[in-house]
Structure 1
Amino acid sequence: MHRYDWLCLKGLAQALRVFNKQEETPQYSLRNISRGSMLKMHVKPETSQIRPYVVSAVLRGITFYEASYNSFIDLQDKLHQNICWQRTLVAIGTHDLDTLEGPFSYEALQPSSISFVPLKQVKNFRADELMEFYKSDLKLKKFLHIIENSLVFPIIYDSKRRQNVKFECTATDLTKAKIVLNTMVTIFSAYCGKKYEVEPVEVIYSNGESFVYPDLSLYNMEVPLSYVNDSIGVALKAEEVL
């Protein structure tokens, strides 16, 4: 079993403190709000052509310091390199919700019809122009192939048709998207005003189906004793395994 929360210093340090009984195991929870009060993410049918899934969540009252913010960015990068398969399966977006206004829409449009000012730039680019611009970017050019030959590009708008949302993962693999979302929000909910609380978001598809994310429910797993011993290199008896 992979522990993706160990990919960043914050997650690894927390796991060690819990293991050494220096702190209690975190009890994560969803903010108690009605479905009608949740932020909405409406998914347009055209997204099925490129990245059909999106999951989303909100962290309220979050306070970052330099070290915790760097860990936050580092975890996104590590997840993109690992479970996200270099962003081919899942792409993570995190943004300042205070500058946005819901409801949100997840769409897939022709590149020539998408335009915005990208991060660290001052010029407005069409999406097709941006692909050319980033071909000289040492960090980003390796990801261009994921969508550059697609007839449509995925994009998220708020109600003012600005292009950010607090936490979202667009994906071709829904299971991995949910794992990535849960990993991000649980680790960094430690910095929220109400510690370990995550605000859910309702995702509504064009066929009428709707889902609430994230799913933080606990579940039991049954594994053979040999799997436990082989995984951590020990020889415990059944009664010694907690």
Structure 2
Amino acid sequence: MPVITFKYQDLKDLGINMEKNELIDTLPMMSSDIEDFNDEEIKVEFFPNRPDNLSVEGVARSFKGFIGQEVGFPDYKIEESGEYVIVDKDVAAIRPYIGFAKINNVDFSGDKLKYIMDFQENLHWVIGRDRKKVAIGIHNADAVNGPFKYIATPKDANAFVPLEKDIEMTPDEILTEHEKGKDYAHLIRNFDKYPLILDKNNNVLSMPPIINGELTKLKEDTHNIIVDVTGTDAKAVNQTLNIICSSFAEVGGQIKSMEVKYEDKTLVTPDLTPQEMNVHVDTANELIGGTDLTAEDIRELLLKARFDAEIISENEIKTIIPSYRVDILHEVDIIENIAVQYHINDVIAELPDINTVAYENNWFKSEATIREVMIAMGFQEVMSLMLTNEEAHYKKMNQEEKPHVQVARPITIDRTMIRTSLINSLMEFLEDNKHEDLPQKIFEIGDVLYLDETKENKTVSSKKLAALVCHSTANFSEIKSIMSSVLSNLGYTMDISDSENKTFIEGRAADVVGEAQKGIIKGFFGEVSPEVITNFTLDYPVIGFEIEFINK
């Protein structure tokens, strides 16, 4: 999860005068965790659903409310800059959305420049999915002049000096030679043109989502900045810009709006218009439990959460939500904030007023049988997380990326989606344990999740069994024999056909279907292709299978 580091003096400079020991005891009560601390600084971990707390300014803003030092809606003023950015229609196919803002009177002295860089990178993966969805650029505004242009340029045109370099490079050279270019080339490499942000004199501010220009590099004596946020999701772009602007405004930065001129519309960014949502007193008391809060009690707690609140009736309160609070999606999110401000430890624990008789789920009975069969055949069980990432799940497995459930606020960049298959998790296990003796025989029984528009929650889960075998002579005959034994012992028939699964060697893989009284199965088995084996840095042949259980 995101961890931010700051000094105790930073909070004092922001108006919080609290003894170190009391601060360490109090911070965890506002949904954070102390990772480490010493006499000078502290490391604090926040859940990804609160990206507004990933800067020391955001922490101070929330903490002031929590301790009652400063409550209510922080109303940040925006002035018009009179400047604009023109969006070239050709960027629509690459990174179609952009948000622009000017912020004057910023302070980058001391550690503040490092803090804003850390803040930017945390936002890149919490909201931006490691720059795929959103990328941020922060520039010295005094080094360039508007109006600005957001264009798609040919790969060998508009050479510029990228950040931390002293020679000009074309966009194509940056992707192949620059450190950051090689890290993020996969985000735009497949397009014919690359995005650039230019000023009126064609000076390059940024090549999103890759690298900024050296011309607009931030320094300690920089006082006026331009913030650009580009991406593939308009909502995420605007939310990110709002969070950054609000953080700077918290310490005296003057936000200036800019017009973004698309071919068919003109927008003004940032837009800090608050959201309104009603919360109900009875619902809050019911969900929190052990409380008897009144409308006035809840109003005061909402003010401490840095919302504004207006009592409509004894049972309903209108809540004004700042634009930087991108985590508020439903009334229950507001109630969570009420519980935090009330202090979770003060909530009286109550047993639920229900009686139930427990019995074992039929699937778990079947799972126990499957486990016995696999262990009897010499396999060792692996239990992995349902969360994985697109790189490991699709690219390294030679599979085309398909629609899947994504994590809106991923905890880490390698846990960005919910799996639809078990095989890649087993390959990762082999990769992590390749120092162990061969043969290695592993299996996993677990859930996967598919998108399904016909379901109320748009998803459907399914049960799967997967296994891998790794040793120097592993081959198709061996995995076919294993597959046959597993299905026979579980009471299923086995019909096989040719498979086009790209994870396996062509001609050495098969699709399988089977049927039993309790249901049907479908799946595949074969020899894993050398390319996939190399992707996971393995040195020996791997064979495997995966089957899905479908109830009749």
TM-score (norm 1): 0.86
Matches within 5 A, 1:6-155: 6-25=53-72, 26-31=74-79, 33=80, 38-134=82-178, 137=179, 141-155=182-196
Match of 1:212 among 236, 254, 268: 268
The answer to which structure, 1 or 2, has the higher relative contact order (CA under 8 A, 6+ apart) is 1
3-state DSSP of counterpart to 1:75? helix
Question: Which residue pairs with 1:179 in the alignment?
Answer: 239
Q: Give the structure with the larger strand fraction.
A: 2
Residue identity over aligned pairs, in percent, reads: 28
For structure 1, which segment, 3-12 or 79-88, has the greater mean C-alpha deviation from structure 2 after superposition? 3-12
For structure 1, which segment, 160-169 or 121-130, has the greater mean C-alpha deviation from structure 2 after superposition? 160-169
| Alpha-carbon distance between aligned partners in 2 of 1:230 and 1:168, rounded to the nearest angstrom | 43
Distance apart, 1:227 and its partner CA: 8.2
Contact 1:42 1:204 in 2 (8 A): yes
RMSD of aligned Cα (Å): 2.4
Q: Deviations over 1:213-240 (max 9, x none)?
A: 1111222123566986799x76544524
| Alpha-carbon distance between aligned partners in 1 of 2:286 and 2:148, rounded to the nearest angstrom | 46
Q: Which runs of 5+ in 1 are unaligned?
A: none
Instruction: Count how many residue pairs are aligned between Structure 1 and Structure 2.
Output: 230
TM-score (norm 2): 0.39
Q: Deviations over 1:88-118 (max 9, x none)?
A: 0111011011111100010011211131001
**Greater than 6 Å deviation, 4+ residue runs:** 224-231
Contact 2:83 2:259 in 1 (8 A): yes
| Alpha-carbon distance between aligned partners in 2 of 1:229 and 1:2, rounded to the nearest angstrom | 23
Match of 2:260 among 203, 211, 225: 203
Match of 1:190 among 250, 269, 273: 250
Larger Rg, first or second structure (1 or 2): 2
Alignment CA distance shift 1:227-1:119 (3 Å): farther
Contact 2:95 2:195 in 1 (8 A): yes
- Indicate yes or no: 2:198 matched with 1:157: yes
Contact 1:72 1:188 in 2 (8 A): no
Which amino acid counterpart does residue 220 of structure 1 have in structure 2? E
Q: Which runs of 5+ in 2 are unaligned?
A: 1-47, 207-225, 300-552
- Indicate yes or no: 2:59 matched with 1:2: no
3-state DSSP of counterpart to 1:95? strand
Contact 2:241 2:270 in 1 (8 A): yes
Match of 1:169 among 229, 232, 240: 229
Alignment CA distance shift 1:230-1:116 (3 Å): farther
3-state DSSP of counterpart to 2:260? strand
3-state DSSP of counterpart to 1:54? strand
Which amino acid counterpart does residue 174 of structure 1 have in structure 2? A
Contact 1:27 1:196 in 2 (8 A): no
| Alpha-carbon distance between aligned partners in 2 of 1:155 and 1:125, rounded to the nearest angstrom | 13
| Alpha-carbon distance between aligned partners in 1 of 2:289 and 2:112, rounded to the nearest angstrom | 34
Q: Give the structure with the larger helix fraction.
A: 1
| Alpha-carbon distance between aligned partners in 2 of 1:104 and 1:23, rounded to the nearest angstrom | 38
Which amino acid counterpart does residue 46 of structure 1 have in structure 2? D
Contact 2:105 2:254 in 1 (8 A): no
Contact 1:49 1:152 in 2 (8 A): no
For structure 1, which segment, 116-125 or 22-31, has the greater mean C-alpha deviation from structure 2 after superposition? 22-31
Which amino acid counterpart does residue 202 of structure 2 have in structure 1? R
